[in-house]
Amino acid sequence: MLSRENVMREALSELEAQRARNVMTEKARREEAAEKSAAVADLLEQRRRLFTSGMRSAFSSPGKAKDISASMQSGVAQINAQLRAALKACGLPEDYLQPVYRCAECRDTGYVGEPVHEPCACLKRAVMNRLYQSEGLQGLERENFSAFDEAIFPDEAIEGKKNTQRSFIRRCREYCEQYADGFDPAEGKGLLFCGRSGLGKTFLMNCVAQRVLERGYSVVVISAYKLIEAMRRYQFGEEGLEQVQDMLSCDLLCIDDLGSEPMLRGVTVSSLYHIVNERRNANKAIVVTTNCDADDLYEKYDDRIAARLTDPSRMKVIPFIGVDVRRFARG
Ligand SMILES: [Zn+2]
């Protein structure tokens, strides 16, 4: 795993690049609008002159700086009102020449708050997403809805069912895509994918994670094995507080392959309960894939864990059925 400091530095320099791009965009827009409308060009020139002369006189008579600044501001406000009208008149949005930024909270500086400066949610999210993507978990960027190929699933009726495995997985995919597109971190709704290996559970979970990431939310994808490993390290005081906090605080936590982790006495069940329960209390969503069915969950873990993972008011349980398709898959 990359160090948090390095990832933070990377995220901040990405924000710096973003601010430079914003300035370019603003300039390009001014040029475009001025070309389109002589009135806009004229107003922009008036505003520029007002700034320059205001600065100059404030500089030469510092005693009057306050008055000069006030009259400059009212002049600029007047010009801006005319600018909005002129932009509209030439078919551009009224706010076309407003400052450009991706994050309205921090204006792409990465920090918010006065007087206490603290990292903006967008910076925290960028750091978290970089940290966990860099772990190389299943290659999230390769496993996304557009790479999802239902053709590898047999188009024959599943034993004992009317539907084919392909039509079944298509419905799952549709459901998951809708879930990811409508994902709302305040709702706390999650998914539980049950079923044997090779039925597409992990792939679909990664598709969901990738789409939710693209939509700007923080996502941690972690195997149950690594989750327990991290909790064990933390519990025995070695390290990992930040990783545990990430798992608790991210918008969406995806736990892969629950049931494959080692059952460590005094660690596995209590750690899992801690994560599942804390997220539930905070109304935060989890997506879990597991080879266990609901009965296995009750048997293997704890009633409280199983109940939370299968609670129909919070979790959509999707049982995956059919035959293992990994033997058909490339690579
Ligand atoms: Zn921000």
Is residue 246 located within the same domain as residue 283? yes
- Rounded CA-CA distance 94/72 in Å is 22
**What separation in Å is there between the alpha carbon of 101 and the centre of ligand 1?**
9
Region label for 108, one of left (φ > 0), alpha (ψ between -120 and 50) or beta (otherwise): left
Cα of 103 to ligand 1 centre, how many Å? 5
Residues 158 and 98 in one domain: no
If you average pLDDT over each of 4-8, 72-76, 306-310, 322-326, which comes out highest? 306-310
**331 domain residue, yes or no:** no
**Lowest-confidence region among 56-60, 90-94, 172-176, 192-196:** 56-60
| Residue 256 CB burial class (10 angstroms; 0-12, 13-18, ≥19) | buried
| Domain hosting residue 104, numbered range | 4-112
Q: Are residues 102 and 144 in the same domain?
A: no
Same domain, 212 and 275: yes
With 0-12 / 13-18 / 19 or more C-beta atoms within 10 angstroms meaning exposed / middle / buried, residue 193 is buried
Amino acid at 218: S
Q: How confident is the model at residue 8 (pLDDT cuts 50, 70, 90)?
A: confident
Q: Which of 45-49, 51-55, 65-69, 130-134 is the least confident region?
A: 130-134
Q: Which residue has the higher pLDDT, 169 or 62?
A: 169
> Could you tell me how far CA 47 lies from the centroid of its own chain?
39
> What's the CATH number where 173 sits?
3.40.50.300
Among candidates 89, 88, 126, 81, which has minimal Cα distance to 108? 126
Q: Is 207 a domain residue?
A: yes
State in Å: Cα 183 to ligand 1 middle: 20
* 66 and 9 in a common domain: yes
Distance (Å) from CA 248 to ligand 1 centroid: 21
Distance 119 CA to ligand 1 centre (A): 8
Residue 128 included in any domain: no
pTM: 0.70
Query: Does residue 163 share a domain with residue 96?
Result: no
- Match 């209590």 to its residue by tokens: 270
**277 and 217 together in one domain:** yes
Q: Assign 3-state DSSP to the chain and report helix, strand, coil percentages, each to 5.
A: 55, 10, 35
Could you give the dihedral angle defined by the CA atoms of residues 139, 140, 144 and 149, in that order, rounded to the nearest 10 degrees?
Answer: 20
Q: How many CB atoms lie within 10 A of CB 209?
A: 28
8 A C-beta contact, residue 123 and residue 15: yes
Residue 55 lies in a domain: yes
Backbone angles phi, psi at 179, to 5 degrees: -60, -50
d(CA 7, CA 243): 14
Check whether residue 26 and residue 69 sit in a common domain. yes
pLDDT band at 165 (very low <50, low <70, confident <90, very high): confident
pLDDT greater than 70 at residue 134: no
Measure 210 CA to ligand 1 centroid, in angstroms.
Answer: 21
Helices (H), strands (E): how many in the chain?
11, 7
Same domain, 170 and 311: yes
CA 109 to centroid of ligand 1, rounded, Å: 7
Tens digits of residue pLDDT in 99-128: 899 998 899 999 988 777 888 888 888 888
Residues 164, 260 share a domain: yes
- How many angstroms is it from 22 CA to the middle of ligand 1? 14
Distance 16 CA to ligand 1 centre (A): 12
C-alpha of residue 128 to centroid of ligand 1, in Å: 14
Kindly report, residue by residue over 14-39, the tens digit of the pLDDT: 999 999 999 999 999 999 999 999 99
Is 150 contained in some domain? yes
Domains identified in the chain, total number = 2
Q: Quick one: 150 and 227 in the same domain?
A: yes
pLDDT at 330 over 50: no
> Would you state the pLDDT for residue 95?
92
| 58 and 177 inside one domain | no
Least Cα distance to 212 among 272, 150, 287 occurs for 287
